[in-house]
Amino acid sequence: MKNYAERLTSLRFRLAIGFAIVGVLASALAVSLSYLQARNHLFREKQNKLIALAANAALQINGDAHAQLQTAADMDTDIYRELQNKSFAIAATDPEILYVYTMRKNEAGEIYFVLDAGHEPGATPEEYKPVKIGTRYESPSEFLVENFDTLRAPTVETEFYTDEFGTYLTAYAPLYKSNGQVEGILGVDILAQDILAQQQEFFRTFILLFLACAASAAGLGWLAGAQIAEPILKLAKATAAIQKTDNRLKLRTGIRELNWVIDSFNKLLQVLQADEEQLRRQAASLNAKNEEIQQTVNLLEQRATQLEIISDIVKATTSLENLQSLLPRIASAISERMGYYHVGIFLVDENREYAVLRAANSPGGQRMLARGHKLKVGQTGIVGYVTAIGAPRIALDVGTDAAYFDNPDLPATRSEAALPLIIGDQVIGALDVQSIQPNAFKEEDIRLLRTLADQIAVAIQNARVYESLQELLEKSQKASTVYIQDAWRILQADGGNIGYKASDKEVAPLLRPWLTPYNRKALVEKQTVAESGMNAALAVPIRLRGEVIGVLDIHTPSEHEWDEDEVDIAEAVAERLSLALETSLLLKATQRRAEIERLTTDISDKITSTTQIDAILRTAAEELSRALGGSEVLVQLHTDTGEKQP
């Protein structure tokens, strides 16, 4: 079997087969071209013969007499019988003619038959029944339809045509009247089977010729291939025996060109021998450099990817947000950029007893968040271990890790990594990452996750500080507002003028509130109201810690248009007025409280200067009445019986 396969793949066999195939193909091409030429010649001969038959038949049909045949009733006339007999006579002139017929068009443009002669295949003319005059041609060929109106010389169909009567080769010729007008079209049909039978006879003859030529070409090709392959096979065997570049070919053949090839091959061996060692050294050096470059490129690509991921996630952690919105964004960013199945962020509670899930990206994680999922620090799962120890824990195969917590909400988990979130020396939580692939976490992945965990811890710390500062700021603003409001109430309680009205003549205090539609609108809407025109008015609200406490009302008796500069000046004055009022209120409130503290201290000193109960009560009543402007003050103690003493 092996020897047989080697023979099939040998050069001698392939050359012999190749030359044989070329010979066979050449024979096939030559015979095919000859057959096609002969077939086409036969078809053209039939076409020329048909054209001659149609032209001769058209000359024998009297066009004027033919024009008198209009309806089926004309078939009983002598003219019809005379022309019909001529048609049968024309059909009988050649045994290949099957039908001879004439045609015209009606007013609707339809082709119909007039004369009809011939015989059915295998029947005699006496048995033929012509169609009636006016019978419509149901399926004329496209050639006839396109050329019917313009046909002025004999012509023939380019291909066989099949209609409701059979398959034919047809020629057409025009019928002329004596005045030179075309009366109709005459058609002559030859049955296609006759032509096809002759073509098949040609085909069988050419097949036999092809077989004879192919056998001869194959034999000659086999001999030529074997002769050419012999010296080449010797050269191939000689070159195959050379294993080293220091060997030489010592073969000589009777073919000059092959001897040139042998000499060139020996020279090439000399060059290869000289360069072989140098090429080997260069190839080894290039391979080493390529490996080094590839390793560097891979490392740079990994680092670029890691830096890009870190950059994207750091952007999500640098915004000052509350933890409720910050942590879910971080979990989603890590999952999307690194392709992990589940990312969760746990924070240790105030008692450092549980690690509470605060953010997750997966559907299972969302269910865990909804029910307040938490893990016991130091006891439950990898997260519990990490939050207690403060070191990363990797489970490359969760089925074999003793610390792994089998969570029904995350059934697809195959490997898990948890990294502590540390601020200073304190563990504040853990970053939990889970994958559906076993052994999903490589060394570079762990380094990247540790960097992300450090960033997340800083972001959490920043968010907590931000929340604390916001809370302190709100408390400070509330306390300041309450203090200002108390001072404002004290100022209102002291009485005094509620405002002043100034004109070019005088400045007078307001004894009662001055209310106009404009300043009412400014007080209600808390914004500047400007009305231009006759009796122009400008009302600017005066604010104290966000509350409108008054209004700056400007009127002009003449027609006036307020421009932006005037409005800006009025608003700036109102703002400075607000600041001055706030400063004054704070000063008055401080002075009032200082006075209260002084009076309280004086009264306390006088009360504590004696140890007699009667003197203490008397001093307290007198001093408090004096301090409150002569108000009636009653100081009394309850007796054991519950009765009051005056």
pLDDT digit string (tens) for 574-591?
788 778 877 877 777 777
Cα–Cα distance measured from residue 8 to residue 594, given in angstroms and rounded to the nearest whole number: 122
The 10 Å Cβ neighbour count of residue 382 is: 23
Q: What is the pLDDT of residue 550?
A: 82
3-state secondary structure 426-454: EEEEEEEEEECCCCCCCHHHHHHHHHHHH
Give the largest Cα separation in the chain, rounded.
175
Average pLDDT over residues 565-582: 82
Average pLDDT over residues 32-48: 77
Q: How confident is the model at residue 494 (pLDDT cuts 50, 70, 90)?
A: low
Identify the architecture of domain 318-469 in CATH.
2-Layer Sandwich (3.30)
- The residues of the chain that CATH labels 3.30.450.20 are 35-200
Within 13 Å, how many C-alpha atoms sit on residue 336's CB side? 11
Cα–Cα distance measured from residue 512 to residue 146, given in angstroms and rounded to the nearest whole number: 112
Residue 179 token pair: 């005045």
Q: How confident is the model at residue 609 (pLDDT cuts 50, 70, 90)?
A: confident
Residue 304 token pair: 């670029």
Average pLDDT, the chain: 78
Cα–Cα distance measured from residue 424 to residue 400, given in angstroms and rounded to the nearest whole number: 33
- Whether residue 1 has pLDDT greater than 60: no
pLDDT digit string (tens) for 50-102?
899 889 988 899 999 999 999 989 999 999 999 999 999 998 888 888 889 99
| Least trusted range by pLDDT, from 20-24, 74-78, 253-257, 622-626 | 253-257
- Whether residue 278 has pLDDT greater than 80: no
**CATH node for 35-200:** 3.30.450.20
Angstrom CA distances, 11 to 18, 222, 228, 438, stand at: 10, 12, 10, 55
More confident residue, 298 or 382: 382
Q: What is the pLDDT of residue 345?
A: 93
pLDDT digit string (tens) for 194-217?
666 666 665 667 677 667 766 776
| Contact indicator for 64, 75 with CB cutoff of 8 Å | no
Residue-wise DSSP of 320-378: ---HHHHHHHHHHHHHHHH--SEEEEEEE-TTSSEEEEEEE-SHHHHHHHHTT-EEETT
pLDDT digit string (tens) for 105-161?
998 889 999 999 988 877 888 888 899 999 998 888 889 899 999 999 999 988 887
Question: Which of 184, 161, 182, 186 lies closest to 173 in space, CA to CA?
Answer: 186
Residue matched to tokens 């291939």: 225
Cα–Cα distance measured from residue 514 to residue 491, given in angstroms and rounded to the nearest whole number: 20
Cα–Cα distance measured from residue 304 to residue 290, given in angstroms and rounded to the nearest whole number: 20
pLDDT digit string (tens) for 381-422?
888 888 898 889 888 876 666 556 677 888 888 888 999 999
Q: What share of the chain is helix, strand, coil (3-state, %, to 5)?
A: 55, 15, 30
Backbone φ, ψ for residue 352 (5° rounding): 55, 40
How far is the first Cα of the chain from the last one, in angstroms, to the nearest whole number?
142
Please list, in sequence order, all residues whose beta carbon lies within 8 angstroms of the beta carbon of residue 615, skipping any fewer than 6 positions away: none
Q: What is the pLDDT of residue 646?
A: 46
Q: What is the pLDDT of residue 644?
A: 47
Q: Give me Rg for the CA atoms of the chain.
A: 60
- The residues of the chain that CATH labels 3.30.450.40 are 318-469, 500-602
Question: Which of 460, 399, 392, 466 lies closest to 424 in space, CA to CA?
Answer: 460
Q: What is the pLDDT of residue 581?
A: 77
| Contact indicator for 432, 344 with CB cutoff of 8 Å | yes
- The C-alpha torsion from 113 through 117 and 122 to 124, rounded to 10°, is 150
Is residue 114 classed exposed, middle or buried when 0-12, 13-18 and 19+ CB atoms within 10 A define those classes?
A: buried
- Whether residue 372 has pLDDT greater than 80: yes
Q: What is the pLDDT of residue 284?
A: 83
Q: What is the pLDDT of residue 645?
A: 46
> In percent, how much of the chain has pLDDT > 90?
14
CATH level 3 topology of 500-602: Beta-Lactamase (3.30.450)
